[in-house]
């Protein structure tokens, strides 16, 4: 069963994240940051990962700690749920159009974290949500999920569409990478024998 629950408590946030990598995309995310919840819902739905996130954070200061720390916990949950990564396809990519926005995501569940982020936003905020936090989330998620992740915003004029297309593109790439390879379901996808 590729499932995990992570609890993370700091002076800034208290978080519990539960994931089922073999789910149907069910979600129940409550972080206290409405736009971020909407993005996490997209990630779960389009990756077909069942996901529940609960976070109480110091949003009276700003949303940064909540968004970054959820990224950390979600990356840790993904790592734990994958186990030794036996049978996964490992790689995934997606071109995701959303109205004016087009985002490309490519990833490798390599255990070697890296984020290449070239996604220009056209506005500094989306209804009070700092658009810089989209990158901060993916930096934390890639680092703690051991993901080599490249995300490129190829076009777009609406920051909501650009941000949402980014989450959906990563989700679709993640779905492909996590799926079982029917030709090598019993093997770790590396010539090294481990990831």
Domain boundaries, given as residue ranges, for the chain: 3-178
Distance CA 169, CA 76 (A): 20
Q: What is the DSSP letter of 185?
A: T
pTM: 0.97
pLDDT at 88: 98
Collapsing DSSP to helix, strand or coil, 127 comes out as: coil
Q: pLDDT tens for residues 144-160? A: 999 999 999 999 999 99
Domain 3-178 of CATH type 3.30.230.40: yes
Kindly give the confidence (pLDDT) of every residue in the chain, 195 residues in length, as a single tens digit, with 9 standing for 90 and above: 899 999 999 999 999 999 999 999 999 999 999 999 999 999 999 999 999 999 999 999 999 999 999 999 999 999 999 999 999 999 999 999 999 999 999 999 999 999 999 999 999 999 999 999 999 999 999 999 999 999 999 999 999 999 999 999 999 999 999 999 999 999 999 999 999
Buried b or exposed e, range 157-172, using 16+ CB within 10 angstroms: ebbbbbbbbbbbbbbb
Q: What are 90-114's pLDDT values in tens digits?
A: 999 999 999 999 999 999 999 999 9
From CA 178, how far away is CA 165, in angstroms rounded? 20
């Amino acid at each position: 069963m590729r499932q995990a629950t992570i609890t993370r408590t700091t002076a800034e946030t208290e978080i519990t994240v539960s994931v089922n990598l073999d789910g149907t995309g069910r979600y129940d995310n409550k972080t206290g940051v409405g736009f971020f919840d909407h993005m996490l819902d997209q990630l779960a739905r389009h990756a077909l990962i069942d996901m529940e996130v609960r976070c109480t954070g110091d949003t009276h200061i700003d949303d940064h700690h909540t968004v970054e720390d959820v990224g950390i916990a979600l990356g840790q949950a993904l790592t734990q749920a994958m186990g030794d990564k036996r049978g996964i396809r490992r790689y995934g990519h997606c071109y995701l159009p959303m109205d004016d926005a087009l985002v490309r995501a490519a990833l490798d569940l390599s255990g070697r974290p890296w984020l290449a982020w070239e996604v220009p936003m056209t506005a500094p905020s989306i209804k009070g949500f700092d658009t810089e936090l989209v990158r901060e989330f993916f930096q934390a998620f890639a680092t703690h999920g051991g993901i080599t992740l490249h995300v490129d915003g190829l076009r777009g004029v609406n920051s909501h569409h650009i941000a949402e297309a980014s989450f959906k593109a990563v989700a679709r790439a993640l779905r492909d990478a996590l799926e079982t390879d029917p030709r090598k379901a019993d093997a770790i996808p590396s010539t090294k024998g481990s990831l």
